[in-house]
Amino acid sequence: MGRKVTLAVSTLNQWALDFEGNLARILQSIQAAKDAGATYRSGPELEICGYNCEDHFLESDTLLHSWELLLELLISPICKDIIVDVGMPVMHKNATYNCRVIFLNRKLLLIRPKLLMCDTASYRETRWFSAWRKLQETEDYYLPRMIQTYTGQSVVAFGDGVISTKDTCIGFEICEELWNPVSSHIPLSLDGVEIVANGSGSYMELRKAYTTVELVKSATYKAGGCYLFNNLRGCDGQRMYFNGCSCIALNGEVIARSLQFSLQEVEVVVATIDLEDIRSYRNQVRSRCTLSGSHKAYPRINVDFSLSETGPWGSVAPSYNPITWIYHPPEEEIAMGPACWLWDYLRRSGQGGYFLPLSGGVDSSAVACIVHSMCRMVVSACAAGDTQVLADVRKMVCDAEYVPRQPQELCGRLLFTCYMGTQNSSVETRQRAKTLAAQIGSYHTDISIDGAVSACLSIFSLVTGMKPQFAVHGGSARESLAMQNIQARLRMVLSYL
C-alpha cells in the first residue's frame, strides 16, 4: 500500500453572494489541485456563498443557492476522483450551521458543522449560526430533493465525525476551533486522525500571521500529524480584509504556504507527505500513546478510496522539506494589506478610480501612499501574467489594449488628488501635497474653496446675526472649532461632486 499522499490547500478571493463567480473560483482551485496530483482538496470557510453575507444568512434563498452551487460541483467532471471539502451554510432541524461538506464522485460523505462560534472583535457569528454541541456524534441529515436526484442518497451523516479512507483518516476543524483552548485537533489525533483540514475566514490584523502560523505548527508539533490551513483572501464586500496565509504543516514544521498579500484570486498550494512520518512521530511520544488507547472514538465514515493510489504520485513523488516562513514587518503589512483591500473594493464597485483631497497632512498622505502601493502590486501582477488583474485594469481605464508599465503611470489614471486650499492654508502644506502627488504620479489639482466658505458664513450670519471668528482673531474656542469644521465639511461635500 502506498504511503505518500498529495494534499492541496486553497486560498480564494470570494465575493459575498457572487454564486457564479465563487463557483468558477472553486472549480479552478479543484482543477489546479488535480493538475498537481492531489487527491484531497480543502478550501476556506463559507467559500460557496462568501463569508460576509451577514443577515442574508437568515434568508432561505442563501441556503438554497448554496445547495444549487454544491450540486454544480457534484456533477462537474472536474471533481471526479478527488475528495473535495467545501464550506457552506446548512440548515439542520431549523437551525443554520456553518459547515464543511465533503464529497467524492457525486456522493456526499459528511456534513461537519462548526463546533465553536467566533464573536471576537468584528466577528458576529452567533447572530447567524448555531454551534454544534453534540461532540463526537453524528446523526442523519435529510438531503434536499435536487441533491437526492443526482446522488441517489436520501441522507448523509451530519455532525462531529471523521472520514476513514483505505490508507488514512481525515478530521476537521473550522477557524475558531484552532484558536480555542480546547481545540478539536487534540482529540482527533488521539483517535488516529492523521490529516486535519481547517477552513478559515481569518481577517488581517498586524502580526496576526505570526500567531496563526504558530498555532498551526504547535497543533502538529504536540499532537503529530498533517494540518491543512485554508484561508480566504481579499475584501468580499465588507470592511475586513482576509489575508491568505494558507499553509500545510507536518509534525511541527510548515512544508508549504501561500502568499499573505496578493491580488491573485485563486492560489492552490500542494505538498506530498509520507504517512509513515506521522505514525513514527506519534509512536515516539509514549504519553500520547497511553491516552490514545483509552480515548473516545469519533464516528467514522468509511470510504472505498485511497489518497495514495491515484497515478504515480502516491509512491514516487518527493516528500516534504520544511520551509522557513518569512514574515512581513508591520510597515509592509500596513502598506500591502489596505492596498489589496482598496483594489478589491475598486474593481468590484465598478468605478474608474479614487478621488482624494490631499491636504499635505499625515492622514491623506498615508492614504495616497497606500493607493500607490496598490498600483505597484497591480503592475507587478500584470507583469507576472495575471490575466484577471489586467482585465480589471483595462475595464477601469476604459482601454482594451492598455498594459500598465510603471506604478506612477497607473496611479495617474486611477488616483485623482486635489489640494482644497483656503486663505488659512499654509504654503508648506500646499507644497507637501504637490510634491507627494508628483512622487506617486497622481493626477493632481489645486483649487481654492474660499468662495464656498464665505457663502456658508454669509448664510450663517444672515440667520443668526453673528459672524464667527478664529481664536487668533478674537473668537471663542467654540467659534474657532466651528470655523475649522466648516472648511473640513465643505471639502467632504466637494469631494463627492
Place of cell 488516529: 192
Residue 316 confidence (pLDDT): 61
The answer to the question of residue 332 being in a domain is: no
118 is written with which cell numbers? 467566533
More confident site: 281 or 460: 281
User: Which pLDDT score is estimated for 309?
Assistant: 67
The C-alpha torsion from 372 through 374 and 375 to 377, rounded to 10°, is 130
User: Of 302, 335, 358, which marks where a domain is finished?
Assistant: 302
Mean predicted confidence (pLDDT) in 67-71: 98
Q: What is the pLDDT of residue 315?
A: 54
Which of left, alpha, beta for 471 (phi over 0: left; psi -120 to 50: alpha)? alpha
Average pLDDT over residues 310-315: 50
Q: What tens digit of pLDDT does each residue of 482-493 get?
A: 888 898 899 999
Q: Indicate if 298 and 426 belong to the same structural domain.
A: no
Say how many C-beta atoms besides its own lie within 10 A of residue 306's C-beta.
16
357-404 confidence digits (pLDDT tens) = 999 999 999 999 999 999 999 999 999 999 999 999 999 999 999 999
- The model's pLDDT over 219-277, given as tens digits with 9 standing for 90+, comes to 999 999 999 999 999 999 888 999 999 999 999 999 999 999 999 999 999 999 999 99
Helix (H, G, I), strand (E, B) or coil at 410: helix
**CA-based max dimension of the chain:** 93
Beta bridge partner(s), residue 195: 170, 226
Provide the residue range defining the domain that includes 134: 4-302
Pick the range with the lowest mean pLDDT from 133-147, 191-205, 317-331, 414-428.
317-331
Work out the pLDDT band at 314, boundaries 50, 70, 90.
Answer: very low
Residue 176 has pLDDT above 70, yes or no: yes
pLDDT digits 0-9 by tens, 416-432: 999 999 998 999 999 99
Identify the CATH number of the domain in which residue 440 sits: 3.40.50.620
Both 223 and 356 in one domain: the answer is no
Same domain, yes or no: 265 and 357: no
338 within domain boundaries: no
Domain count within the chain = 2
Whether the pLDDT of residue 52 is over 50: the answer is yes
Active-site residue numbers? 45, 114, 175, 359
Query: Does some domain include residue 321?
Result: no
- How far, in Å, are 182, 219, 408 from residue 368 at the CA level? 44, 41, 12
Domain boundary residue, one of 267, 302, 337: 302
pLDDT at 90 over 50: yes
Mean pLDDT score of the chain, rounded to an integer? 95
The mean per-residue pLDDT over the stretch 330-356 comes to: 96
**Dihedral-angle region of residue 330 (phi above 0 means left; psi in -120 to 50 means alpha; beta otherwise):** alpha
- Grid cell 462548526 in the structure block, residue: 114
Residue 1 confidence (pLDDT): 47
Q: Is 313's pLDDT higher than 70?
A: no
- 319 belongs to a structural domain: no
Tell me, what's the pLDDT at 2? 54
CATH of the domain at 103: 3.60.110.10
H, E, C per residue of 90-138:
EEECCEEEEEEEEEECCEEEEEEECCCCCCCCCCCHHHCCCCCCCCCCE
Q: List the single range of 203-217, 306-320, 392-406, 411-425 with lowest mean pLDDT.
A: 306-320
And the C-alpha cell for 194? 492523521
Q: Is a pLDDT exceeding 70 seen at residue 47? A: yes
